[in-house]
Structure 1
C-alpha cells in the first residue's frame, strides 16, 4: 500500500503529500500512464519505401517541406501573373520588386527598426493581456459570484471593435507607447479570458474533490489540480491571443506612429508604394508564424510537464 503521509505532520508539505496521494489514487496520472497503449496492428507501410504516411508526416523536416509547398505555389503564381501582364506594377509588383524594396529599407537601416518596435509592442501587449486574461478567467471560472458580477460587462466590452478604442486611448494616454501597448493588451486579453474561464468551469469535479481531500485549497488547488487540467485550453487561448495581438498591432500603430510594420503598411498605402505594402504584409505573416511556432514549442513542453 502506498503511504500518502500526513499533511499536518512536520517535515511534509501539503503540496508534496497531495501530489503523491493524487497520483497514488489514480486521479493525477504520471506521464507513463497517460501514454496510449499501441495494442492495434502496426500502421500499413508502403511496400516501396517501407514507411507509413503517418511516419512521414511525423518527421519534422518532411512536415516543413510539405508546409512550404503552398507558399511556393503562391509565389510562382504571383511571378507568372506579373510576367504575363495580368496586373500593372502599381496593382501587383513582381516578387523581385518587393525584395528590392526590402533591400532598400535594410540599407537605410529602417527595416530592422520597424520589425523591432512592432515585435516589442506585440510582446508587451500580449504578455500583459494574457496575464490579465488568465487572472480574470480563473476568477470567473472558479467563482459563481464573480461570474454573475463580471461576465456581462466583460462580454459587452469584447464586442467593441478595436478601432473604437483608438480615440479614447489617445485622449487618456496621449500618443506615446502606452496607448499602443494598451490597445494590443485589449486584443490579447479576451481570447485568454474566454478559454480559461470556460475550461475551468468544466474541470472534472472528481479532480477537485480529490485535491481538497488531500488538503489543497485556494491557490494551491488552482495551481496543482485545476490549471494542469486545462493546460491545452490555456495554450489554445494564448495562441489565439498572440494572433489577435498581431491583428491589433496595425490599429495600434495608427495612433500617430512613425515606426513599426503597421506604420509601414499605412504609409506605403498613402504614398502608392505597393512594393513596401506587400513587404509589410509578408513580414507580418512570417513574424507572426515564427512567434506562434515558438509558443507551440512551449505548449508541447507544458503538456508533457503538467497535462
Structure 2
C-alpha cells in the first residue's frame, strides 16, 4: 500500500473513531454516577452493586468458565436471527415495493404481525416448536424482520419517480433496475431498519433466554435470580447493553461507508 492511500485511509478512519469516542461519553458519565451512588451509599449495595463489584464478578465468571460459553451461545442466537430476519425482511420489502400484487399479498399480513407483539406469541411457538433453539431464534427473527421490512419498503416507495421513468425509457431489464435503482434507493431505509432490528434482536434475546433456557447469558441471570445474586444479574444486563452499543456502532460505521455519497448532518 502506497503512502498516499495509507494517508487517505487514516483520514477516513479518524472521523469514525472520533464519533465513536464521543458516543462513549454518555455511558461513561452514567457509570461514574452509578459508582458515586454506590460509594456514598445512596443505593443499597444488595439492590444495586457498584460497577467495581460487577467488574469483579465479571472476571470471576470468566475465570470459572461460565461466562464465555454463555456469551458465545447468546451471540450466535442473536446474530443468526438478525441475519435471517434482515434477509427475509429485504426480500419481502422488494416483493411488496416493486409489485402491486406483491404488496397486496405481503403488506397486509406483515402489518397485522406488526400489531401483535412477537413476545406475546411465545406460548404458541413453544406449543408448535418446543423449547429448543429453533423457537428462540425464530422469535428473535420475527422481532428483527418487521423493522427491516417497514423501513426498506418505505424507502422503495420513496424512490424518485424520475429514476423509474429513466429506467423505463432505457428499457433496462428487471434485474438491472433492482440492482441499479431499487436497491441503492432503498439502502437508507434499510440501514434505519437494521439499526432498529439490532436493538430488537438484543431486547428479544433477553426475554427468550429466560424462558426454559439451559444456556446463554439469560440463563445465567435466571439462575442468579433464584439465589439472589444481584451482581451476576447486573453483569448480564451490562453485557446486553455493551453488545447492543457495539452492534449499533458497527451498523452506523457500515452505513457511513456504504452511503458515503450522502452528505447529511451529524453523520
Asked whether the two chains share a fold, i.e. TM above 0.5, the reply is yes
Aligned to 2:69: 113
Aligned to 1:179: 135
Structure 2 distance, partners of 1:102, 1:66, is 26
Where in structure 2 are there 5+ consecutive unaligned residues?
1-13
Instruction: Check whether the contact 2:153–2:186 (CA below 8 A) recurs between aligned residues.
Output: no
Q: 1:209 offset after TM fit, Å?
A: 1.9
Aligned to 2:44: 88
Are 1:221 and 2:177 an aligned pair? yes
For the residue of structure 2 that corresponds to 1:304, the secondary structure is: coil
Aligned to 1:232: 188
> Structure 1 runs of 4+ off > 6 angstroms?
none
Q: Give 1:125's match in structure 2, choosing from 81, 100, 108.
A: 81
Aligned to 1:299: 255
Where in structure 1 are there 5+ consecutive unaligned residues?
1-57
Q: Give 1:137's match in structure 2, choosing from 57, 82, 93.
A: 93
For the residue of structure 2 that corresponds to 1:300, the secondary structure is: helix
Q: Residue 200 and residue 69 in structure 1: after superposition, are their counterparts in 2 closer, same or farther (change >3 A)? A: closer
For the residue of structure 1 that corresponds to 2:44, the secondary structure is: coil
Within 5 Å, which residues of 2 pair with 1:263-274? Answer: 263-274=219-230
Equivalent pairs counted in the alignment come to 250
For the residue of structure 2 that corresponds to 1:88, the secondary structure is: coil
Structure 1 distance, partners of 2:199, 2:188, is 17
Q: 1:291 offset after TM fit, Å?
A: 1.8
Q: 1:141 offset after TM fit, Å?
A: 1.2
122-131 vs 262-271, which deviates more?
262-271
Instruction: Check whether the contact 1:180–1:255 (CA below 8 A) recurs between aligned residues.
Output: no
Tell me the alpha carbon deviations over residues 181-218 of structure 1, each in whole angstroms, 9 at most, x when there is no partner.
Answer: 10111011000110111111121111012123223232
Structure 2 distance, partners of 1:212, 1:166, is 46
| TM-score normalised by length of structure 2 | 0.86
Structure 2 distance, partners of 1:145, 1:61, is 45
Structure 1 distance, partners of 2:247, 2:23, is 17
166-175 vs 274-283, which deviates more?
166-175
Aligned to 1:161: 117
For the residue of structure 2 that corresponds to 1:230, the secondary structure is: helix
Structure 2 distance, partners of 1:149, 1:60, is 41
Q: Residue 171 and residue 285 in structure 1: after superposition, are their counterparts in 2 closer, same or farther (change >3 A)? A: same
Q: 1:59 offset after TM fit, Å?
A: 4.1
Aligned to 2:6: none
Instruction: Give the superposed CA RMSD.
Output: 2.0
Q: Residue 65 and residue 201 in structure 1: after superposition, are their counterparts in 2 closer, same or farther (change >3 A)? A: closer
Q: Which has the higher helix share?
A: 2
Aligned to 1:189: 145
Instruction: Check whether the contact 2:155–2:188 (CA below 8 A) recurs between aligned residues.
Output: no
For the residue of structure 2 that corresponds to 1:258, the secondary structure is: coil
For the residue of structure 1 that corresponds to 2:259, the secondary structure is: helix
Instruction: Check whether the contact 2:96–2:103 (CA below 8 A) recurs between aligned residues.
Output: yes
Aligned to 1:45: none
Q: Residue 67 and residue 292 in structure 1: after superposition, are their counterparts in 2 closer, same or farther (change >3 A)? A: closer
